[in-house]
Amino acid sequence: MNPVRPDSRGSPQSRSRDPQSIIVFGASGHGKVVMDVARRGGVEVTLVVDDDPKCHSLSGVPVLSALDPEWIATKEFNYIIAIGVNAARASVFDRLGTQGGIARTLVHPSSVVAESASLGAGTVACAGAVVNPDSVFGKNCILNTSCSVDHDCVLGDHVHVCPGVRLAGGVMAGDGVMFGTGAIVIPGVKIGAWSIVGAGAVVLRDVPDRCVVFGNPARVVRSIKRALPPIFQM
């Protein structure tokens, strides 16, 4: 399917109700990736929202501040959040749900998601991601470039599986877990909520809640005492 390119016709308020259009929250490099996933799936990005005052457009789409009256007036919109930091993405997701937003799920046409797998609302599967049978993702997750999630994995809300991660069968992860680039987790391991698996780590045993683990084999290097602040002041 050819990507749908944005044009200047209509306001964000009128066009955001279209089921084949969305608003993207986040104008970083990951925002570019999410926009490409949307366009390759035939979904038009009508607007990007971000707090960076220096950013006025992203991949040809206007960028508005979260405090801009034009954005605030937008109602009944479809959206996807392009923020890699899990705590910030969770905060924005919760807020948008109270403003009439409908979270879309996006899957890049080059990714492979088994028919029996499940991706929650607001989840994005980027190019080359693989999700095998009976694996389940919660809401607002990121399956980043060329990650692999094998059979019967169960992952909570707001999880980020970074590029090149390999999760073997039956891995379980609580809400807000971050799997760093290239991390490997062996079958049946449980990762506690809001923990971080460092880049390149090889996880051989269960990880408690709110811990950072690194190394091969992975070991706990510190605990996480507080949540990160949200990016959008909405």
- The CA distance from 146 to 110, in Å, is 10
Boundary of a domain, candidates 67, 83, 103: 103
Q: With 0.85 as the threshold, say if the pTM is over it.
A: yes
* 78-117: pLDDT as tens digits: 999 999 999 999 999 988 988 889 999 999 999 999 999 9
108 catalytic, yes or no? no
Boundary of a domain, candidates 103, 138, 165: 103
- The CA distance from 169 to 5, in Å, is 38
Task: Flag whether 6 is in a domain.
Answer: no
Residues 6+ apart with CB under 8 A from 174: 156, 191, 192, 193, 194, 195, 209
Q: Residue 123's domain spans which residues?
A: 108-218
- Same domain? For 24 and 69 the reply is yes
Q: What is the CATH number of the domain that holds 158?
A: 2.160.10.10
The residue annotated as part of the active site, out of 56, 151, 158, 160, is 151
Q: What is the CATH number of the domain that holds 49?
A: 3.40.50.20
First vs last C-alpha separation in the chain: 35
Task: Flag whether 231 is in a domain.
Answer: no
Helices (H), ranges, 43-134: 69-72, 86-97
* 144-184: pLDDT as tens digits: 999 999 999 999 999 999 999 999 999 999 999 999 999 99
